[in-house]
Structure 1
Amino acid sequence: MDYIFPLANTLHALAAVIWVGGMFFAHQVLRPALGANEPPVRLGIWGRVFARFFVWVWLAVIILPITGYAMVYGDFGSFENAGMHVTVMHAIGWVMIALYLYLYVVPYGQYRQAVKAEDWPRAGKILPIIRRIVGTNLVLGLITIVVAVSGRFWG
């Protein structure tokens, strides 16, 4: 059983990097780069990007809580022994997951329908909603990373 904590820790870090790094790339790099394209091209690309990226986010949404709880209870025995930073990460993580679930079911579901119907004006109105949710989750993810690397030094 000595392998559980290193495995959980590794999977947890990889899932966080994939999710937060993917959001950073999409929000800060891909979005501005696609801005010069006509709406049908830009919105179609986003539809294909989301379809591929959200598979990875689903994996992260499953892996992060499982590995997080494995580390809390396997390494510390409980949240009480884990430190405040772990509780902060736990809370932010569930907010991020809730935002993602909402994003996937409501705006992304509507976006997929609009792109499939080639209703570019409707898709164009939904994309900023998705962008705001992704932007919010990106900020929360970056805060979580700061907490993760600095938390053990908190007084």
Structure 2
Amino acid sequence: MYKTYLFLHIFFAIVWIGGMFFNVLFLSPALRSAKEECRQDIAPKVLGKFFMSVWLAIIILFGTGMALWHAFRPDFSTNPLFHLKLILFAIMVINFIYIHLFLYRKRLFSQIPVFVGINLILGTIIVLIITYIR
């Protein structure tokens, strides 16, 4: 069961972080150079599908993370870096909720890459932290 939880946890972290990487470095610059009508047509379609995968990733990451922590790595409870990781994950989730429920729904597509970039930095820091505490 450990390997299954670990696989799901890593896979959905890759989905979320990889999607943010794609959004910030490839999609946003391409949309900036596109015509306004094209941006208003493509952005909601691409982001809508990506955001559904992020909601799923958040649920899976939380569930598998709790299972991995409590069942297999209770020693993380005393590690301050692990608690920092949890705080950063919470900030990422709150930031994503703002992106999805406010910016996306108000169609403020030009502001989304800034907040996605913040989450990309936080996600990268989390990967760095978890690499060092394993």
TM over 0.5: yes
1:78 Cα deviation after fit: 5.8
Q: Distance in 1 between matches of 2:40 and 2:113?
A: 12
| Matched residue SS, 1:128 | coil
Q: Distance in 1 between matches of 2:50 and 2:25?
A: 15
> Which of 107, 114, 117 lines up with 1:135 in the alignment?
117
Q: Is the 8 A contact 2:23 2:113 kept in 1?
A: no
Structure 2 match to 1:47:
44
1:14 Cα deviation after fit: 0.7
Q: Provide, for residues 72-112 of structure 1, a one-character-per-residue CA deviation record: whole Å limited to 9, x for no partner.
A: 1011236425x33322221111110111112111111111x
Runs of 4 or more, structure 1, over 6 Å off, are none
Work out whether 1:19 is the aligned partner of 2:16.
yes
1:133 Cα deviation after fit: 1.1
Q: Count residues with an aligned counterpart.
A: 134
Structure 2 match to 1:148:
130
Unaligned runs of 5+ residues in structure 1 are 112-125
Please, what is the CA RMSD of the aligned residues?
1.5
Q: Distance in 1 between matches of 2:70 and 2:63?
A: 11
1:7 Cα deviation after fit: 1.2
Superposition TM-score, scaled by structure 1 size: 0.80
Unaligned runs of 5+ residues in structure 2 are none
Amino acid at match of 2:124: L
Q: How does 1:5-154 map to 2 (within 5 A)?
A: 5-77=2-74, 79-81=76-78, 83-111=79-107, 126-152=108-134
Q: Provide, for residues 26-49 of structure 1, a one-character-per-residue CA deviation record: whole Å limited to 9, x for no partner.
A: 110121122221111022111110
Q: Distance in 2 between matches of 1:151 and 1:74?
A: 17
Give aligned-pair identity as a percent: 31
Q: Distance in 1 between matches of 2:5 and 2:35?
A: 44
Q: 1:133 to 1:139 in 2, by over 3 A?
A: same
